[in-house]
Structures are given as structure tokens and as C-alpha cells.
A and B are shown apart, each in its own frame.
Chain A
Amino acid sequence: MAVEVRVPSMLQKFTDGEKKVQLESANIGELLATLESSYPGIGNQLMEDGELRRFVNIYLNDEDIRFLDGMETSLSDGDVLAILPALAGGAA
């Protein structure tokens, strides 16, 4: 399934500055593996021991995957995935 992944500015250094990348995968877990093989290094930012890090959320079409089927959540053509890490900045 062809899906669009929106990359936060914090991680765009791994995607040559691209904000959006197109990938093919059947589910979220596969997609994250594909993301790492396409953009080495990004996976470690998102995952730890096969689990999504607890300060990173992934939204499939604006729904948190934790409330779908997590890594097993299946994908459809045209889905949009957003990666959202916690931000601390208040600009003190």
C-alpha cells in the first residue's frame, strides 16, 4: 500500500530535509522497517527494542495508532501517517 509519511522537522536530517516521504507497506510495523532501510538512522529515533519510544506518537489519518492496532495496524492506499515526538520548548 502506498502511504505518505509526514516527517517532523526534528527528523528531517535523516530524510535529506524532506517533510513528506512516500513508502509502500502493508502495516505500521513493516512501514517503520521500510522507513529505516530507506533512511538509515531514523528507526533508532522512533523505536527501541521493537517498540515505539514512549515520547513518540504515530498518527494514522489523525488517529493515534495506540488506539488502533499499534504496530499491527494495517494500511490502505492513500493513508497519511504523521510522526509526532514530544516537544519541550517554550523558548525560555
Chain B
Amino acid sequence: MSVKVYIPTPFRKITGNRTFVDAEGIDVNGVLRDLDQRFPGFGEMVFDGEQELLEHVNVYVNNHEITSLQGAETPVADGDEMAVIPALAGGAGAAMTPEMVERYSRHLIMDQVGPLGQRKLIDGKILAVGAGGLGSPVLVYLAAAGIGTIGVADFDVVDRSNLQRQIIHGTSDIGRLKVDSAKDRILDMNPNINVVTHTSPLTSDNAMEIIPEYDVIINGADNFATRYLVNDAAFLAEKILVDGSIFLFEGQVTTFFPGEGCYRCLYPSPPPPGMVPSCSEAGVLGVLPGTVGAIQATEAIKVLLEQGEPLKNRLLLYDALAMDFRTVKIRRDPQCPLCGDAPTVTELIDYEEFCGSPFHEN
């Protein structure tokens, strides 16, 4: 029987950098022996001294892990696809458990993620500012992707009017702290996650204690004071910031890398209070933050994986009514008071005074 075998990155030095190789055998064991014949050294990577499959190596036949089939005796047929996935990744890091290997299998078989990429996600630390409309999809997808440490900052409680869009919360959560409700949902989705809840409002006094603990910050704040605070703290702590905002049918998303432009470069100062209505005053299409938050989560995951092109120096504009996505160029402003050539903002300021509005709009 001739089968196609997926070879993950760590084994490709043995296969001449080939991602897929053909091999023959009547069962998994036979195919692996054949691979050892074709690619000397392969056997040592997958078998122990007793010629048993190493415990940290998982083998898949047509996307099914073989321990759920007949183990090494699992028969193979012409045209079957096998994958040999080592659970160890990232040097001396801890092994993924069999549960994790199964859970993340669709990532592990991708070239762009694989065991090394999944390890980066597991080692990643992301803070979501706000567990509301944007935070909901952000947190659910980060949990599903296996981001090892997820911070949730929100001091609000779940209100019935939140449930039109805040899919991380349910009717039975009404009246609970959003961070508690979000934590339950995250752990139900993926018990491997370390969830850190921040219940106190983010302020100039505590932001520099919280934000430096993370690799990537996702801003889903509902007011300008918090938006500028998080921008400034992320820059000062040299953290990547994925900013997203929504209004009625429109969304804006961009990713700021420290020193390459910030929210103040884009919008030097906030509108006067009352000039720009908030979502609670003007409304928002319930599914809109789903789209925008999913894009923010995509950006954060790409940043951790070091894959693809982030929205760096680009502002993505989404119009749900027109179903139109466009990007415009944005750039670092040399005059920026925070990240410009002669900064005047060198520590956190009083953002309620700067914005003329409180940290919360309700």
C-alpha cells in the first residue's frame, strides 16, 4: 500500500526538506519502517530502544490519531494520508499532552503553525482590555487557539442588553462580573488556559503593573480615556497593541508595533465629550464586534506565530452595510507627543482630564 506521509518541520532535515513523502506498508508500523529505510535516521526520531513508538510522537492516519484506531497495527490503504507529529517543540519545553495534541491537531498539521507554532501560542500571553462586544470573540478564539495565558480586564457586570452581541456571556450570567463569566467560558472551551482576571478598572496607577505582564495587548475599550491609556501604557511597556473600535455598522482595526506609530499618531487627541456618540447612545449591530474582534484575534495569533503580514502601518476599515473592507496607510508621526522625536508624554497621565470624560460611559 502506498501512502502519503506528512513530515513536520523538525523531521524535515532527514527527508531533504520535503513536506510530504511517499512510503509503503500494510500498516502504520510497516510504513514507519519503510520511512527509516528511505530516510536513514528517521527511525531514531520515532522509535525507542525497544522499537516501540516514542510516547511524545503522535501518528495520524487520515487525521485520526492512531491510539484511537489500532495503534501501530492500524492498517493503511492506497492513497491514505499519514502525519507524524512530535509533541515536543521549542527545545526543552514541556511536552504537549495527548489531549493537547488531539485538541490542536488542525494547527499541528499546518505548515504555518505546526508543533513549533503551537508551542509559541501556548507560551503566549495576551491581555484583552474589555470583555464586551470585541472582547467576547477575541477571548473565545484565543482560548480555542490555546494561548497559554489570557488576561481579561473588565470591571463591569453582565447586563441583559449586553447579550445582543457579547457572545462569551449567557443569560444565566446576568449580574455576574464579566471577568468571572468570561473565565468560565474560556475554561469550558479549553481547560489548558491560565486565565488571569483584572477586576479593577485600568487606570494610570495600575496599568504599568498589568500591561508589562503580557506579550500582546488587544484593545476593546468602550471609551476614549481607556483607549489612550492602553495605547500609552503599551508603548511605554514596549508591547504590541491590536486596536479595534466599532460604531453602528463600521469598524476600524490596526496593529501598533512599539516605535512604529501609535494611536496618538493616528488620532492626536480625542473628540470633546458628547461630540462622537458612543455605542450605548447610538447603537451597534450585534454581529459587528464579532467580525472586528475575530480580526483582532487573528492579528494577535499571527503576531505570536510570527507569520504573515500584520496590519502594521495600515488601518483596516470595515463597512458591514456595504460589505466593504479597505485599508488606508497610517504612519508614525514625528510630532507625536508619545512616540515622536521629542516626546512630551513619558509616563502615564490623567486620561479622564485629557479626554474630558470618565473611563466608563454608562
Contact = CB atoms under 8 A, between A and B. Distances in A.
B245 A54 contact: no
Nearest to B355: A88
A33 interface: no
Contacts of A19: 321-322
A88 B277 CA distance: 9
B327 A88 contact: no
Contact of A59 (B132, B321, B328): B328
Interface in A56-88: 57, 59, 62-64, 66-67, 82, 84-88
- Interface core residue of B165, B219, B249, B269 (most chain A CB under 10 Å): B269
Contact of B252 (A59, A84, A91): A84
Contact of B244 (A10, A45, A90, A92): A90
Contacts of B282: 10
Cβ-closest 5 pairs across A and B: A91-B133, A92-B222, A87-B245, A90-B220, A92-B132
A89 B329 contact: no
B247 interface: yes
Contacts, number: 117
B88 interface: no
Interface of B: 130, 132-135, 154, 156, 162, 165-166, 219-224, 227, 244-252, 266-271, 275-280, 282, 284, 288-289, 315, 317, 321-322, 326-331, 333, 360-362
Given A55-B270, A89-B279, A91-B246, A84 B132 contact: no
A87 B329 contact: no
B330 A64 contact: yes
B317 A84 contact: yes
A55 B331 CA distance: 15
A59 B362 CA distance: 32
Contacts of B280: 92
Contact of A89 (B166, B245, B267, B271): B245
